[in-house]
Structure 1
């Protein structure tokens, strides 16, 4: 009977936690809806549009900080703040390189987070499978860079863009590989969604694909989904680690 009571209590706690998490994410959902409601194609950059665009990432950072505390400042919270800086910069096309630098810093912080003790590493028995997935991921990144290389050469400031985009592709591929290593579904899906968003954005910015009617919608939907999944994955990773620590001490 005690065991049944314990399981029932655990189920109630999980339901409570899920509800509390959803409530803490409501500001993110509302700000994301506001962005898509106010967004108009080819609208000029403004302080207001930049604020609306950056709000979802900052609200996600606040939610993660409230759940995980200061330990996430140099992790997912820091990555979300860097992403917000990148969002702000990309509102104005002339600040594209600054925005890309901010997102590169975000990928570095995410990568360091996925290497932390909060995320479990793969076992030796599954290492071959994961190495195969890593290879596929880097092949996709390399193939994309080779494809987009001629378009980078004809873009403004190719001497800066060619190496900068190459470094960025490596960083996001590493981030995706470490997400695979983490074995957290939300983290993995978020990282892959981030890659889809960035690749779609690059194809459009460097005119490597014909104009897409819903190109910006694709970029932003996958981008906000990626940040949400990475944030939830980090909250769950810390929560699972704390539960495991309590179980070991009991």
Structure 2
């Protein structure tokens, strides 16, 4: 009977925490809806548009901070804050490199977070498959770089852009590989969605393809989805760790 009561209590606690998490994410969903409502293809670059674009990411950072506390500042919260800086920079095309640098720092912070103890590493029995997935991921990243290389060479600032894009691809591939290591579905899907968003953006910015219909919407939907999943994955990882400690006590 005690075991059944404990299991029922555990389920109620998890359900209550999930409802509370969803409630804390409502500002993010509302701000995302506002962004897509206000954005138009001919929207001029301005402080207002930068603020509206970065608001969902900042609100996600606030939600994660409220759940995980100050320890997350050097982790997912820090990554979200640098992503918000990148969001603002990309509003102005001349600040593209600055934005890419901010997102590179975000990927580095995400990667360090995924290495933390609260994310369970893979077992030895599955290590060969995980390494194989790592290899595939980095090969895809290398293939993307080779594919867009001729277009990067045509850019006015190609001397800076060529190595910068190469380093960025390594960092986002590393982030994706470490997301696989966590075995958290939300974290993994978030990292993959981030890669899809960045690939879509690169194809358009570097004029690799003809203008894509609804191209901006594809970039931003996958981007906001990526940040949401990474944030939720981090909250769930801390929640699971705290819950395990509570169970042991």
TM-score, length of structure 2 as denominator length = 0.99
Query: Within 1, Cα distance between the matches of 2:4 and 2:112?
Result: 40
Residue 59 of structure 1: aligned partner:
59
- Could you report, residue by residue, the CA deviation over 1:197-240 in whole angstroms, capped at 9, with x for unpaired residues? 00110010000011101100000000000000000000000010
Query: Within 2, Cα distance between the matches of 1:218 and 1:86?
Result: 18
Residue 214 of structure 1: aligned partner:
214
Residue 46 of structure 1: aligned partner:
46
Query: Within 2, Cα distance between the matches of 1:149 and 1:208?
Result: 10
Query: Within 2, Cα distance between the matches of 1:156 and 1:236?
Result: 44
- Could you report, residue by residue, the CA deviation over 1:146-190 in whole angstroms, capped at 9, with x for unpaired residues? 000000000120000000000000000000000000100000000
Deviation at 1:42, TM superposition (A): 2.9
Deviation at 1:4, TM superposition (A): 1.5
Deviation at 1:44, TM superposition (A): 1.4
Residue 35 of structure 1: aligned partner:
35
Query: Within 1, Cα distance between the matches of 2:60 and 2:187?
Result: 15
- Could you report, residue by residue, the CA deviation over 1:59-107 in whole angstroms, capped at 9, with x for unpaired residues? 0000000000001000000000000000000000000000000000000
Report the aligned-residue RMSD: 0.6
Query: Within 2, Cα distance between the matches of 1:199 and 1:212?
Result: 13
* 3-state DSSP of counterpart to 1:239: helix
Matched, 1:229 2:242: no
Matched, 1:143 2:143: yes
Matched, 1:105 2:105: yes
Residue 178 of structure 2: aligned partner:
178
Matched, 1:68 2:68: yes
Residue 79 of structure 1: aligned partner:
79
TM-score, length of structure 1 as denominator length = 0.99
Deviation at 1:247, TM superposition (A): 2.0
Query: Within 2, Cα distance between the matches of 1:71 and 1:112?
Result: 13
